Amino acid sequence: MLRIVLMVLRLLIKGLYYFAHIWWCSVHENISYEEGFRWAKKTTLAANKAGRVTIEAHGLENIPEKDGFIMFPNHQGLFDGLVFLESCPRPFSFVIKKEAANIILIKQVRKALGALTIDREDLRQSMKVIGQMAEEVKKGRNFLIFPEGTRSRMGNKTQEFKGGTFKSAVKAKCPIVPCALIDSFIPFDENSIRPVTVKIYYLKPLLYEEYKNMKTTEIADEVKRRIDETIAAHA
């Protein structure tokens, strides 16, 4: 909480300027999600600097050259989204749980990037969202979704990865990019403003030809295994 206060205080004027642009993108459907992403990235870069958070990104060369891929990271908290907005060089949208969808700024970024809202308690709605995401990916949009469904509260330890989230990739026949987040829980969970470094590792993607004969639960286990191994090696 202290770090959020620091970000707000240090970005009071510039932050309002950035927020106005994100809001503008969120209320005008004719503005591309690429433009919304550009302003969300600018805001994030400034916020992370103001909050004394350094993002250390590895494996950027593993991000597919062609758009139409899905990133599947472990989930450590609200700061995770800021890690991707700063480090990922390619525009992307995301899937967010309905409980967080209307938090100020998150709501505007969600609309500006054309993000999808999922209700984890409604299986039919969840499957509909997975299908929508697959269709958007087929059209060349990139997405971010957290396969754990909710954040881990065990530091850098991961929870079970749910196979259902990977149905989106199977339907879209797209590359799966596993992403390992390390210490992303610290900036907003720790009641401190000390400088902190968060690491993200973009891992080698699984191509459709590699996973087409696997069950979604098997894909989930394989992605989790790769992420867990990376965290164990670098945390």
pLDDT tens for 32-85 read 889 999 999 999 999 999 999 999 999 999 999 999 999 999 999 989 999 999
State how far the Cα of 100 lies from the Cα of 137, in Å rounded to an integer: 23
Beta bridge partners, 177, equal 71
User: The pTM is what?
Assistant: 0.92
Q: 142 CB contacts (<8 Å, ≥6 apart)? A: 67, 68, 69, 70, 71, 90, 91, 92, 93
Helix (H, G, I), strand (E, B) or coil at 227: helix
pLDDT the model gives residue 1: 62
Size of the chain in residues = 235
Question: Among residues 149, 143, 150, 148, which one has the least CA distance to residue 168?
Answer: 143
Answer with the residue of higher pLDDT: 234 or 122. Answer: 234
Mean pLDDT, rounded, for 189-199? 92
Q: Which two tokens stand for residue 188?
A: 């907003």
Average confidence score pLDDT of the chain: 92
Helix (H, G, I), strand (E, B) or coil at 161: coil
- 164 by Cβ neighbours in 10 Å (0-12 / 13-18 / 19+) ranks as middle
Q: Mean pLDDT check: name the lowest of 60-74, 181-195, 210-224.
A: 181-195
pLDDT the model gives residue 9: 67
DSSP assignment of 2-15, as one string? HHHHHHHHHTHHHH
Question: Among residues 71, 18, 62, which one has the least CA distance to residue 41?
Answer: 18
Sign of CA dihedral 186, 227, 84, 214: negative
The C-alpha R_g of the chain, in whole angstroms, comes to 17
Sign of CA dihedral 60, 61, 67, 72: negative
- pLDDT band of residue 207 (cuts 50, 70, 90) is very high
Residue 181, φ and ψ in degrees, nearest 5:
-95, 135
- 98-157 pLDDT, tens digit per residue, is 887 788 778 888 898 989 998 888 888 989 999 999 999 999 999 999 999 888 888 899
State how far the Cα of 198 lies from the Cα of 53, in Å rounded to an integer: 7
Domains of the chain: 2-234 (3.40.1130.10)
Largest CA distance in the chain: 53
